[in-house]
Amino acid sequence: MLSTEKVKLGEILIAKGMVTEADIANAMARQQQHGGVLGQNLVALGAVTQDQLDAVLNTRPRAPRTVEETELPPGQLLKMLVKTIYAEDLRTASEMRDSLKLPFNVIMKLIEEGTAQKMVVVLGQTTNGAAGELAYGLSDFGRRFAKEALEQSGYVGPAPVSLRAYQKRIIAQKISNERVNQAQVEAAFGDMVVTDQFIQSIGPAINSGKSMLLYGPPGNGKTSLAERIGSLFEGTIYIPYAVDVDGSIMKVFDPSVHQPHGAGGTAPASSVIRTDIDDRWVPCKRPLVMVGGELTLQMLDLEFNPISKFYEAPIHLKALGGTFLIDDFGRQLVKPADLLNRWIVPLESRVDFMKLHSGRTFSVPFDELIIFATNLNPTDLMDPAFLRRIPYKLETVGPSRQVFRQIFQIVAKKYALELTDEVVDTVIDEVVSRNGDALAGYQPKFICEHVINSCRFKGIPAHFTPETVREGLGHLLVKDPSKLKNLAHAA
């Protein structure tokens, strides 16, 4: 879980590249002299325009000013407050605010209600921490209530957002809202040898925000291409910690998937001020989720924990607003046809349906860039009807001799190895003679790494020699099985 520190406007502006830490520091210094909020001082200093600031402020989820504005039943919020006090041993309203991520006035209203129902009691003034705050605790009745509530659902932490708010937010931050231009694509693929024709083909596919198929022989960069596509999107989206669905909790925010803006120290805590953002939403980079042969149909359904009694969002829901790569498609344990049938409705209608174990079904806007990557023949995996539902199909072919030479030169330079034409010709001739024309983009990297490891083992400076190149090729290429059989008979 994230730190309890409130999300800051400055962190969002820095993450978007709109201001620098120096701009924030200057605005803070001006604020000390002239007052006002941080945004006003940034505008006054010319760091951002009012229109730019308004665009950011209008996209942020606004904090609820009342219990009603949370769009959650008051009884459910009170239950969450009592559970949290009990499970986390909270004492002050500030601690409750930081745990539940609700504004102070909403917390105080819930405390007031809890006191009226004789579940929450005032313990007196705090002696440390937040000076002057009242300390609260639970009555015997409140503790019994908390235990019963935890048996119904063990979820404790940030208050959920409503399903309606989640649905609206997904639509508001659609991946197709963000435009990627040719210069960005060329920069993203700058360390790869990619033709201009491929750039012209993949650009519209990226901007469509729909789905694409990358296919072709193995080892020619499909996964690397997909990773770079996912990194192209720079916009901020808001991910809820959890979503309420008719009283059931679905956890969505996942630190292993979602990368918060401001995490990792993009801005010092002292450089920005608190804002009225709804802290139940985490400002994140658009996610890039990759799955391979481990993908099963069950991973695309809600996961109910029978012990904690709340749901975990499926992996593709965590990718909403971002990129979802299904790598090595066709090599999953589940049959390709069964997996594809699961995607027909989301790809066609842009809506997915989730089902609670109670039988209740709810819909979620299906907005993400899906990339199928395979080195198998697409027509063996997909029927024409499904291929039609994937609007962009791009083939990644093996490199020509000239392109292979370019790749080898780039890779060798990266590893600080001096590459000669003789070495390249030897590798090309050996690969072609053994594998036909099966040159692949991954081969130069393998050869370079083998040379470095071989020289390190021998205790000599890393450099190409006929011996190390032949060793590398011996590990890279598989001998013809028929020749091995003939040798065995001869023996």
Whole-angstrom distance, CA of residue 49 vs CA of residue 443: 50
Strand partners, 138: 120
Write the single-letter amino acid at 363: S
Identity of the highest mean pLDDT range in 97-106, 197-206, 345-354, 482-491: 97-106
pLDDT band at 4 (very low <50, low <70, confident <90, very high): very low
Structural domain 165-395, CATH architecture: 3-Layer(aba) Sandwich (3.40)
Instruction: Out of 95-109, 414-428, 433-447, pick the least confident.
Output: 433-447
For residue 7, the number of C-alpha atoms closer than 13 Å in the C-beta half-sphere is 27
CATH code matching the domain that covers 73-159, chosen among 3.40.50.720, 1.10.10.10, 3.30.300.20, 3.30.1550.10: 1.10.10.10
Burial degree of 53 (CB within 10 A; 0-12, 13-18, 19+): buried
What per-residue confidence (pLDDT) applies to 1?
A: 34
Q: Tell me if 73-159 shares its fold with 401-490.
A: no
At 261-314, the pLDDT tens digits run: 754 333 333 333 345 789 999 999 999 999 988 888 999 999 998 888 999 999
Whole-angstrom distance, CA of residue 276 vs CA of residue 65: 9
At 133-145, the pLDDT tens digits run: 899 999 999 999 9
Average pLDDT, rounded, for the chain: 85
Q: Tell me the mean pLDDT in the region 77-93.
A: 94
For residue 80, the number of C-alpha atoms closer than 13 Å in the C-beta half-sphere is 28
Q: Tell me the mean pLDDT in the region 177-194.
A: 82
DSSP structure string for 43-84 = HHTTSS-HHHHHHHHHHSPBPPSSTGGGTS-HHHHHHHHHHH
What per-residue confidence (pLDDT) applies to 264?
A: 39
Asked if residues 20 and 271 have their Cβ atoms less than 8 Å apart, the reply is no
Q: Where exactly are the structural domains of the chain?
A: 73-159, 165-395, 401-490
What per-residue confidence (pLDDT) applies to 126?
A: 77
DSSP structure string for 398-455 = PPPHHHHHHHHHHHHHHTT----HHHHHHHHHHHHHHHTT---TTHHHHHHHHHHHHH
What top-level class would CATH report for the domain 401-490? mainly alpha
What per-residue confidence (pLDDT) applies to 111?
A: 96
Q: Tell me the mean pLDDT in the region 175-192.
A: 83
At 440-476, the pLDDT tens digits run: 888 899 999 999 999 999 999 999 988 888 888 888 8
Query: pTM of the entire structure?
Result: 0.78
Taking alpha carbons only, the member of 301, 283, 299 closest to residue 291 is: 299
